[in-house]
């Protein structure tokens, strides 16, 4: 029977931007905006405290996504805590395309492993990533949330993979967050089942170029972030988002829908203040960095 560590454990997990234009369901970038969570085994019951993003709207019971992820990891380790206390200090906006659900899942599985004595021996990093991707259903946000940096991920022969790629230090992300959410489910429901072969071919070429542009040739980012398969198809659900993307790109600024939206991700030159001033009224702009570290335990 598994035993548990004494006292609380803490974890920090970054926000993520997926797709990055053409890399639909395969490319993801970790950003320097973090949720911080604390968990502790208690004698009984379940206590959840949430502050920041999601406070007052997320459930405070077993249906909380972090708790569900923790339970899944405990099950794999054959560990059953008598009770749990969970504190969430959330900075990642919910339902905006910045990976809040992936951050919750990655935080949950990481906390659960850290609470079990010898958890690293019971669940490797690869197994923990596999579990997180299984829970989310796709790896494009989970991979950078877990590993950090820029990650190319997918599924082959029934197994998840995640491959890190370099990011040029000149690449500076700026995120524009609108006041109202759009659900990932609704955004996905707008996508067609079939796409023209020519569009798929163009998308593949731009995805390959994007990996090279991020790695060391950011002057190609405007061309590399062109999308054919998912952004325009979602315009009806987020017209203000696509209007901002169109406006920025018309001025030569690489801009894309972040994940399923409705946040916008743009890549700035050295002076981010000129770009953040383009933030629409009622939106919030974050000048961020690429976060090299994924989920990490805090002292």
Q: What is the pLDDT of residues 101-135, one digit of tens each?
A: 999 999 999 999 999 999 999 999 999 999 999 99
Phi-psi region of 47 (alpha: psi -120 to 50; beta: other; left: phi over 0): beta
- The confidence score (pLDDT) of residue 299 equals 81
- The confidence score (pLDDT) of residue 188 equals 83
The answer to the question of residue 3 being in a domain is no
Any idea what the CATH number is for the domain that residue 195 is in? 3.30.70.890
The answer to whether residue 205 scores a pLDDT higher than 90 is: yes
The answer to the question of residue 186 being in a domain is yes
Whole-model pTM? 0.95
Quote the number of domains for the chain: 2
Whether residue 195 is found in the same domain as residue 54: no
The CB density around residue 154, as the number of other CB atoms within 10 Å, is: 17
- The confidence score (pLDDT) of residue 187 equals 81
- The confidence score (pLDDT) of residue 79 equals 96
User: Is 247 among the annotated ligand-binding positions?
Assistant: no
Distance CA 176, CA 53 (A): 16
User: Is 83 among the annotated ligand-binding positions?
Assistant: no
Confidence of residue 2 (pLDDT cuts 50, 70, 90): confident
The answer to whether 177 and 98 have CB atoms below 8 angstroms apart is yes
> In this structure, what are the phi and psi dihedrals at residue 268, rounded to the nearest 5 degrees?
-95, 160
The answer to the question of residue 201 being in a domain is yes
The answer to whether residue 219 scores a pLDDT higher than 90 is: yes
User: Is 248 among the annotated ligand-binding positions?
Assistant: no
User: Is 181 among the annotated ligand-binding positions?
Assistant: no
The answer to the question of residue 4 being in a domain is no
Distance CA 264, CA 36 (A): 23
Whether residue 192 is found in the same domain as residue 266: yes
What is the tens place of the pLDDT at every residue in 226-272? 999 999 999 999 999 999 999 999 999 999 999 999 999 999 977 79
The answer to the question of residue 72 being in a domain is yes
The answer to whether residue 1 scores a pLDDT higher than 80 is: no
Whether residue 147 is found in the same domain as residue 204: no
Any idea what the CATH number is for the domain that residue 93 is in? 3.30.230.10
Confidence of residue 185 (pLDDT cuts 50, 70, 90): confident
Higher pLDDT: 264 or 190? It is 264
The stretch 129-153 carries a mean pLDDT of: 97
The answer to the question of residue 98 being in a domain is yes
User: Is 94 among the annotated ligand-binding positions?
Assistant: yes
Whether residue 106 is found in the same domain as residue 201: no
User: Is 270 among the annotated ligand-binding positions?
Assistant: no
The answer to whether residue 177 scores a pLDDT higher than 90 is: yes
User: Is 103 among the annotated ligand-binding positions?
Assistant: yes
Whether residue 65 is found in the same domain as residue 143: yes
Whether residue 151 is found in the same domain as residue 189: no
User: Is 119 among the annotated ligand-binding positions?
Assistant: no
Whether residue 33 is found in the same domain as residue 162: yes
User: Is 68 among the annotated ligand-binding positions?
Assistant: no
- The confidence score (pLDDT) of residue 269 equals 77
Whether residue 34 is found in the same domain as residue 149: yes
Residue 97's contacts (CB-CB under 8 Å, 6 or more residues apart) are 17, 18, 182, 184, 257, 258, 259, 260, 261, 262, 263
Whether residue 149 is found in the same domain as residue 216: no
What domain range includes position 37? Answer: 9-166+291-298
User: Is 250 among the annotated ligand-binding positions?
Assistant: no
Whether residue 148 is found in the same domain as residue 201: no
Whether residue 177 is found in the same domain as residue 149: no
> How does the average pLDDT of the chain come out, rounded?
95
- The confidence score (pLDDT) of residue 203 equals 93
Higher pLDDT: 191 or 205? It is 205
The answer to the question of residue 195 being in a domain is yes
Q: Is 7 exposed, middle or buried (0-12, 13-18, 19+ CB in 10 A)?
A: exposed
Whether residue 181 is found in the same domain as residue 162: no
The answer to the question of residue 2 being in a domain is no
User: Is 101 among the annotated ligand-binding positions?
Assistant: yes
**Distance set, CA 168 to CA 149, 150, 219, 249, 267 (Å):** 11, 10, 11, 21, 12
């Amino acid at each position: 029977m598994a035993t548990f560590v004494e006292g609380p454990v803490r974890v920090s997990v970054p926000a993520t931007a997926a797709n990055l234009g053409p890399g639909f369901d395969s490319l993801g970038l970790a950003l320097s905006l973090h949720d911080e969570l604390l968990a502790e085994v208690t004698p009984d019951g379940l206590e959840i405290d949430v502050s920041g993003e999601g406070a007052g709207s997320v459930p405070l019971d077993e249906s909380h996504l972090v708790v569900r992820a923790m339970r899944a990891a405990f099950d794999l380790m054959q560990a059953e805590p008598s009770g749990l206390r969970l504190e969430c200090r959330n900075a990642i906006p919910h339902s905006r395309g910045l990976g809040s659900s992936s951050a919750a899942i990655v935080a949950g599985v990481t906390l659960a492993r850290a609470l079990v004595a010898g958890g690293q021996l019971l669940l490797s990093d690869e197994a923990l990533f596999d579990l997180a991707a299984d829970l989310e259903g796709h790896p494009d946000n989970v991979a950078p949330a877990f590993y950090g940096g820029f990650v190319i991920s997918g599924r082959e022969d029934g197994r998840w993979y995640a491959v890190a790629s370099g990011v040029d230090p000149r690449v500076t992300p700026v995120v524009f967050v609108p006041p109202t959410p759009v659900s990932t489910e609704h955004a996905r429901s707008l996508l067609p089942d079939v796409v023209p072969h020519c569009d798929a071919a163009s998308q593949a070429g731009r995805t390959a170029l994007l990996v090279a542009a991020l790695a060391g040739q950011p002057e190609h980012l405007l061309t590399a972030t062109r999308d054919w398969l998912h952004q325009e198809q979602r315009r009806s659900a987020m017209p203000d988002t696509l209007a901002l993307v169109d406006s920025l790109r018309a001025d030569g600024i690489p801009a894309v829908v972040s994940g399923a939206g409705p946040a916008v991700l743009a890549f700035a030159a050295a002076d981010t203040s000129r770009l953040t001033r383009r933030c629409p009224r009622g939106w919030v702009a974050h000048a961020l960095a690429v976060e090299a570290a994924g989920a990490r335990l805090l002292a």
